[in-house]
Structure 1
Amino acid sequence: MSRRNPTGKGKQTGEDMPSDTHAISSSLSGIAVSPRTSKHAHRSSMEDDTVDEVELSLLGEEERREAAHGLDIEEQHVQPHSLSTEDKKAMVLLCVLYLIQGVPLGLALGSVPFILRENLSYSQLGTFALSGYPYSLKLLWSPIVDSVFIPSIGRRKSWIIPMQLIIGTLMLYISLNVQVLMDNASHHVGQLTFLFTSLVFFSATQDIAVDGWALTLLSPESLSYASTCQTIGLNTGFFASFTVFLAFNSEAFATKWGVPHLSLSGYLKFWCVMSYAVSLWLLFAKKERKEALSDVDLSISAVYKQIWAICKLRHVQLLILMHLFAKIGFAANEAATSLKMVEKGFLREDLAIAVLIDFPFQITGGWLAAKWSRGDHPLRPWLIAFWPRLGFALMATLIVYWFPRPPITMGFFIFLIIHTVFSSFASTVQFVGISAFHTRISDPLIGGTYMTLLNTFTNMGGTWPKWFVLKGVDLFSEATCKVKSGSTPLLTKGMSETDHSHQMLILLIVSECVSDAGKEACKAAGGECHIEKDGYYVVSGICMVFGAAFLVFYIIPTARRLQALPTSAWRVKMS
């Protein structure tokens, strides 16, 4: 096993480097940006001098000299081109690899929480939400993936193949035990969380290798399409495991449309077989050409030092801070709104259909966002899309508040679909925009690790608030249990005087109806929980107010300065 990183993301050699070009976007669309260049050819020299003077004010003295030196590099305008056959094949392969990653994410972050919602509290769902954290922490082990490999198998295949085999094996294990775990989910929260955390962990590890391979699998001019492949693959896998699965998992949906009922066990077994099949194809049919050896030390320790050096750059720190808090404004909407709608009577299969209809619009939105992210202001679409996302988050909160009693009318269902389409379109624009920016500034020398570094904080910004949001919903909620004694309903919110000792005992047990113990006690007493104050609205309000303030006073001014920096300002020299 080699521990030297013969790298070069950017030094395209061999079969993995098609001669033609295309680009890398991070979500669904192709982004025609050159990730290696230091400035744009179409700027006038006077504009360059003015902008670069502002840009360098963000840097330290030594960094300023290095960046200024980078500004002297002339850049040739990249002419439009058509995709070569090799690039097209590479894109198909990347889409398949990202698809396999999206399946576990769709289960862990989408369908499984919906299935568990009937038996778990929001606090327990918050515990299960921890299963998504490995995808946001993969930076911690990405240097190992970039540096350790078996030369005879290939630098990227050394990780992709075993990870997919492990993912398939885990899916097989869960499929054989899922019935026992789901039937009594409240007593198996820890085990379910561990299993799906492991599944996401191995998917995240595969993602590191695939990200690195994308930078050499595609030709330099075509790198922007890597994020297109990522978006199409991940979103397809995610929606297949979330919306499509939820619909076919519903007995009502299967009966209504005359389609077979799809169990979670059967779905997991199918993807187990697919993971094995793709792994065997990679092992025996896909040859990975060796990458050119680099004169730079790219051992594990060297890459970790490189990450630390990058994180010490002031503008990188500003970017990290921006990513960590940028998504708080719509955190409550993404974590709890759908669960609340289902709680109020919106059928899971109807929700799945709404999101499924939305999927083609997301693909279209990705391509459009890719075009908007070109030029001197790649973060402009990302910034503009903040306002509609906050607006749609507010609208979603009002939808939950005024949600009609089921069954819902067709008009209201169409309104929900329209809201979903526009909301996800804004989300897609942001995803593609920030991914285009990351691709543009990433150092190809440690491609997989650098992309992972930037994406880690983006993902973490959307992941870490979820636990607090779901915990906060229970924390700020007030609910009581109404127990019927004969024909007279007894409100059992606190200690109450009663002449019957057994009723007094019931009042002591079901003094609240928010915690798991309180809900179980209320149910055991033959009562029903009635929410007096829903913490969802409190948490949602806090998130949106913070999000709007943070956007105006920090994100907008900071993003405008960061996108003006030359590419060389984002690099550090390796010994």
Structure 2
Amino acid sequence: MDEDYTLEDMGDKQTLLQGKSFEEKKVEELKPNLRKDIWDFILLVILYFLQGIPLGLALGSLPFLLKSKMTYSDMAIFSITNYPYSMKLLWSPIVDSFFNKKFGRRKSWIVPIQLCSSFFMFFFGGIINDKMDEKKIPIGFITAYFTIMVILSATQDIALDGWALELLSKENLSYASTAQTVGLNTGQFLSSTVFLAFNSAEFSNKYLRSKPSEYGVLQLGPYLKFWAVCYFLVTLYLIVIKKEKICYDVIESIKEVYKIMWKVIKLPRMRSFIVLLFIAKIGFVTNDAVTSLKLLEKGFKREDLSVTVLIDFPLQIIFGYYAAKWSSGKRPLRPWMWAFYGRIAAAILAMFVVKFFRIPENGEISSGYFILIILSTVLSSFMSTVQFVSIGCFFARIADPTVGGTYMTLLNTLSNLGGTWPRPLILEGVDVLTDYGECQGLSSDIQGITCKTSDGRHDCISNGGQCEIISDGYYNISIVCIILALLSLFLFIKKEVRNLETTPKHYWEIPKDKDEKEKD
């Protein structure tokens, strides 16, 4: 129990020992009833789903599509597209305080953002295939486009997180995280697993065509155009049909919202919570960012990888729902803690899966080893989903609805940043710590390319070759990350999680100024 707590603040001795305020007890008495908010819940799922479409491409499909023509150092450049989603806190006060009252506080942002997203997807859908077919992919252009798309999705996420707190009743706030999980995961699933499968010539020729072709049945350009139309139709619904409640208790000064954001950061428990969110994902980033790429590099087929995620996807949805229920009790972060152990185990298992992966002479891996890869993928993804939902439920529980968008965005941003900031360093580190040999698989008219330098590796891959790996830096980076995860867990995270769970609700509320108290 924090030494700053007093009986006067907590109400009475019994409440102090239980670690709950009267308001929290009252909220706990309300039983969730999703039927009450079912249509608003469905709308949230659809909007989060659309938000997941460009994110699934930027964070899922494109790294796999680009890997055959790019080095890990090039991939580190493309990973810049992850940053806007983790830096949205910088402009969240603008989204929270600048809007048209008549049109709606959240619709004032969601509607124009979806229209812009629709335009960019349709426009770039007409030129992106030509760019991807170039011998030397213009990584600057591809990175810039998807960075713009991620910025739009991140800005929509700010408004949508705030709207979720207003659309759902108090007793159903835990389902806001469920809506986000189901919607985002489904959108990302379609843009990564399903798209990769249908984009694969091997998968299309094997399952979908009678006559083989060098291209998959679904190309990136038409895929972007299709979703551009879907974005536009949903936006029409928001403009014409969906009405938003007028919020009167709103701070309209952007400067004031930034001040409030600073007040949130200065809350007694918030500072240690920020540290936890910033370091909690270090141990898992190598597994999340590199393991699948390493399997592809060693010969695992892209369509087989899609099958593993296809099996994993329904489990994410099912357990995402139950994770929300598990997180609504007295120990809301208990699922998050159990999943932390699970992700460490998944990261260790992933190293062995990659280490002992071999492609037989017939080109088909054994069913036993394929099942092992599926188990490794499902374990990692399932634990990640449980952590995501659990921490999201905790955010919704403690967020002050006065500045709900900014408050939720602050917490979500810090959580996302914990998995984003190490990613470029890890991708670059894998390249630096790997000992490369000669460039193999080049045509006879191309000679003299070495993989000892970054430029040489880039030239080798650009010309259709493959760099021989003598010792792989992936294992070194993975071991370091796992050790850091274990140290942070036992020296800081376990104790901090327990303190967070026993912190009373009003300690997360923004303190009022003297003038505001006098008005009350």
- TM, length-normalised to structure 1: 0.81
| Matched residue type, 2:217 | H
Listed one character per residue, the Cα deviations across residues 202-229 of structure 1 (whole Å, up to 9, x for unaligned) are: 0111111111111111222222111111
**For residue 517 of structure 1, what is the aligned residue in structure 2?**
456
Alignment partner of 1:246 out of 190, 196, 199: 196
| Distance in 1 of aligned mates of 2:135 and 2:87 | 27
Alignment partner of 2:430 out of 473, 479, 493: 473
**For residue 182 of structure 1, what is the aligned residue in structure 2?**
132
**For residue 491 of structure 2, what is the aligned residue in structure 1?**
553
**For residue 127 of structure 1, what is the aligned residue in structure 2?**
77
| Distance in 2 of aligned mates of 1:423 and 1:522 | 30
| Distance in 1 of aligned mates of 2:355 and 2:413 | 34
Alignment partner of 1:345 out of 299, 310, 320: 299
Listed one character per residue, the Cα deviations across residues 284-321 of structure 1 (whole Å, up to 9, x for unaligned) are: 12122312x12x74411111000101112232111111
**For residue 541 of structure 1, what is the aligned residue in structure 2?**
479
The structure that is helix-richer by fraction is 2
| Matched residue type, 1:434 | I
| Matched residue type, 2:42 | V
Indicate whether 1:228 and 2:178 are aligned.
yes
| Distance in 1 of aligned mates of 2:316 and 2:93 | 32
The DSSP-based 3-state class of the residue aligned with 2:323 is helix
Asked if the contact 1:303–1:446 (Cα under 8 Å) also holds between the matched residues in 2, the reply is yes
Asked if the contact 1:97–1:233 (Cα under 8 Å) also holds between the matched residues in 2, the reply is yes
**For residue 15 of structure 1, what is the aligned residue in structure 2?**
none
Pairwise mapping of residues 91-110 of structure 1 onto structure 2 (< 5 A)? 91-110=41-60
**For residue 143 of structure 1, what is the aligned residue in structure 2?**
93
**For residue 283 of structure 1, what is the aligned residue in structure 2?**
239
Indicate whether 1:156 and 2:106 are aligned.
yes
| Distance in 2 of aligned mates of 1:484 and 1:283 | 56
Listed one character per residue, the Cα deviations across residues 153-192 of structure 1 (whole Å, up to 9, x for unaligned) are: 2111111111001111111122111122212374511111
Asked if the contact 2:115–2:232 (Cα under 8 Å) also holds between the matched residues in 1, the reply is yes
**For residue 420 of structure 1, what is the aligned residue in structure 2?**
377
The DSSP-based 3-state class of the residue aligned with 2:31 is coil
| Distance in 1 of aligned mates of 2:460 and 2:287 | 30
Asked if the contact 1:116–1:185 (Cα under 8 Å) also holds between the matched residues in 2, the reply is no
Asked if the contact 1:324–1:457 (Cα under 8 Å) also holds between the matched residues in 2, the reply is yes
Indicate whether 1:444 and 2:401 are aligned.
yes
| Matched residue type, 2:404 | G
**For residue 255 of structure 2, what is the aligned residue in structure 1?**
301
Indicate whether 1:411 and 2:352 are aligned.
no
| Distance in 1 of aligned mates of 2:14 and 2:384 | 32
Report the alpha carbon displacement of residue 571 of structure 1 after superposing the two structures with TM: 1.4
| Distance in 2 of aligned mates of 1:522 and 1:104 | 27
RMSD over aligned Cα atoms: 2.7
User: CA 1:512 to 1:342, structure 2 compared with 1: closer, same or farther past 3 Å?
Assistant: closer
| Matched residue type, 1:50 | L
| Distance in 2 of aligned mates of 1:156 and 1:118 | 41
| Matched residue type, 2:381 | S
Alignment partner of 1:374 out of 315, 318, 328: 328
Asked if the contact 2:24–2:505 (Cα under 8 Å) also holds between the matched residues in 1, the reply is no
Report the alpha carbon displacement of residue 47 of structure 1 after superposing the two structures with TM: 5.3
**For residue 505 of structure 2, what is the aligned residue in structure 1?**
567
Report the alpha carbon displacement of residue 420 of structure 1 after superposing the two structures with TM: 1.8
| Matched residue type, 1:452 | T
Report the alpha carbon displacement of residue 131 of structure 1 after superposing the two structures with TM: 0.4
User: CA 1:126 to 1:172, structure 2 compared with 1: closer, same or farther past 3 Å?
Assistant: same
**For residue 220 of structure 2, what is the aligned residue in structure 1?**
264
Pairwise mapping of residues 39-58 of structure 1 onto structure 2 (< 5 A)? 48-52=15-19
Asked if the contact 1:297–1:574 (Cα under 8 Å) also holds between the matched residues in 2, the reply is no
**For residue 516 of structure 2, what is the aligned residue in structure 1?**
none
Alignment partner of 1:313 out of 267, 283, 304: 267
Report the alpha carbon displacement of residue 375 of structure 1 after superposing the two structures with TM: 2.1
Report the alpha carbon displacement of residue 464 of structure 1 after superposing the two structures with TM: 1.0
Indicate whether 1:397 and 2:332 are aligned.
no
Report the alpha carbon displacement of residue 99 of structure 1 after superposing the two structures with TM: 0.5
**For residue 341 of structure 2, what is the aligned residue in structure 1?**
387
| Matched residue type, 2:408 | M
User: CA 1:261 to 1:567, structure 2 compared with 1: closer, same or farther past 3 Å?
Assistant: same
The DSSP-based 3-state class of the residue aligned with 1:261 is coil
Bigger drift between 511-520 and 556-565 goes to 511-520
**For residue 25 of structure 1, what is the aligned residue in structure 2?**
none
**For residue 433 of structure 1, what is the aligned residue in structure 2?**
390
| Distance in 1 of aligned mates of 2:466 and 2:217 | 31
User: CA 1:520 to 1:373, structure 2 compared with 1: closer, same or farther past 3 Å?
Assistant: same
The DSSP-based 3-state class of the residue aligned with 1:530 is strand
| Distance in 2 of aligned mates of 1:348 and 1:439 | 37
Listed one character per residue, the Cα deviations across residues 466-493 of structure 1 (whole Å, up to 9, x for unaligned) are: 10110001110111216899x9xxxxxx
Listed one character per residue, the Cα deviations across residues 412-457 of structure 1 (whole Å, up to 9, x for unaligned) are: 2122222222222211111111111111110011111100011110
Asked if the contact 2:58–2:81 (Cα under 8 Å) also holds between the matched residues in 1, the reply is yes
| Matched residue type, 1:516 | D
Asked if the contact 2:27–2:170 (Cα under 8 Å) also holds between the matched residues in 1, the reply is no
**For residue 11 of structure 1, what is the aligned residue in structure 2?**
none
Larger radius of gyration: 1
User: CA 1:441 to 1:186, structure 2 compared with 1: closer, same or farther past 3 Å?
Assistant: farther
Asked if the contact 1:326–1:461 (Cα under 8 Å) also holds between the matched residues in 2, the reply is yes
| Matched residue type, 1:397 | M
Report the alpha carbon displacement of residue 79 of structure 1 after superposing the two structures with TM: 3.9
**For residue 13 of structure 1, what is the aligned residue in structure 2?**
none
| Distance in 1 of aligned mates of 2:194 and 2:165 | 31
Alignment partner of 1:207 out of 148, 154, 157: 157
How many residue pairs align between the two structures? 495
The DSSP-based 3-state class of the residue aligned with 2:469 is strand
**For residue 212 of structure 2, what is the aligned residue in structure 1?**
none
**For residue 517 of structure 2, what is the aligned residue in structure 1?**
none
**For residue 29 of structure 2, what is the aligned residue in structure 1?**
78
User: CA 1:91 to 1:280, structure 2 compared with 1: closer, same or farther past 3 Å?
Assistant: same
**For residue 420 of structure 2, what is the aligned residue in structure 1?**
463
| Distance in 2 of aligned mates of 1:363 and 1:420 | 15
